Amino acid sequence: AVVSTQSTGYAVVSGGRDGRLVAWDVRRARSAVCYFDQENREGEEKAHNGAITSLSQTQDGLFVLTTGQDKQLRCWDVAGASNTFTNFGGSCCSSEVKKVESAISVNSCYPGLVYVPCGGEVKVYDILTGRHLSDYSVHFSGVNAVQYNWHFPALYTCSADGAMRVLEPMREAEERVPGTVEDQTVPGDAWSDSD
């Protein structure tokens, strides 16, 4: 997986099956600038114990998030080439070797939320605190990819079951209809599956 950083036009970050996360300067031959290490040790080059299965970046390019075959989600400070040690809890993603795609949203909490496929669910975490906010059960089999649309708030998911789902935030008028049962209860989340 590869992402180009938003802060410059010449830097990219790649993650590989060997567990390495590498920053590159595409203007130079042999352009590896630095290697990220899960313990922030000099001379070490392992971001994950096993293959990196997902690589996403925040909209401003300051952070990169990775998932790995070691079932860990990690947040990396791109400028400092370091692990932020955000605690997302243990075993937050699949250990499968196949590539999955996580998504990052921008909302009122800076820098946003990360959506991580895990089996038939999508787990939602706050990027800065690592707090697990929600799980969305959207497919009957493994979710392969999620994509967040920054222009129109929607989360797109696709799966091995051959389906694609669109999750949109519920609008104020849809949340409560005065005098109905729904008016008396608080919804579990603020997203709806629009089929």
Distance CA 143, CA 100 (A): 8
Confidence of residue 171 (pLDDT cuts 50, 70, 90): low
Helix (H, G, I), strand (E, B) or coil at 113: strand
The one-letter code for the residue type at 168 is E
69, 73, 181 from 175: Cα distances, Å: 38, 32, 11
Cβ contact 93:123 at 8 Å: yes
The dihedrals phi and psi of 86, each to the nearest 5 degrees, come to: -65, 130
169 CB neighbour count, 10 Å cutoff: 15
Residue reference for tokens 């590498």 = 22
Least confident segment among 59-63, 113-117, 169-173, 181-185: 181-185
Q: Within 13 Å and on the Cβ side, how many CA atoms surround 49? A: 5
Asked whether residue 143 carries a pLDDT value surpassing 50, the answer given is: yes
**Residue of higher predicted confidence among 140 and 75:** 75
Give this prediction's pTM.
Answer: 0.78
Model pLDDT for residues 119-128, shown as the tens digit of each residue: 888 888 888 8
Range 95-111 average pLDDT: 61
Q: What are the residues whose beta carbons fall under 8 Å from the beta carbon of 32, sequence distance 6 or more? A: 22, 23, 24
Q: What are the residues whose beta carbons fall under 8 Å from the beta carbon of 139, sequence distance 6 or more? A: 120, 157, 159, 160, 161, 163, 165
Q: What are the residues whose beta carbons fall under 8 Å from the beta carbon of 75, sequence distance 6 or more? A: 63, 64, 65, 83, 84, 86, 88, 127, 130
DSSP state of 101: B
Asked whether residue 169 carries a pLDDT value surpassing 70, the answer given is: yes
Helix (H, G, I), strand (E, B) or coil at 7: coil
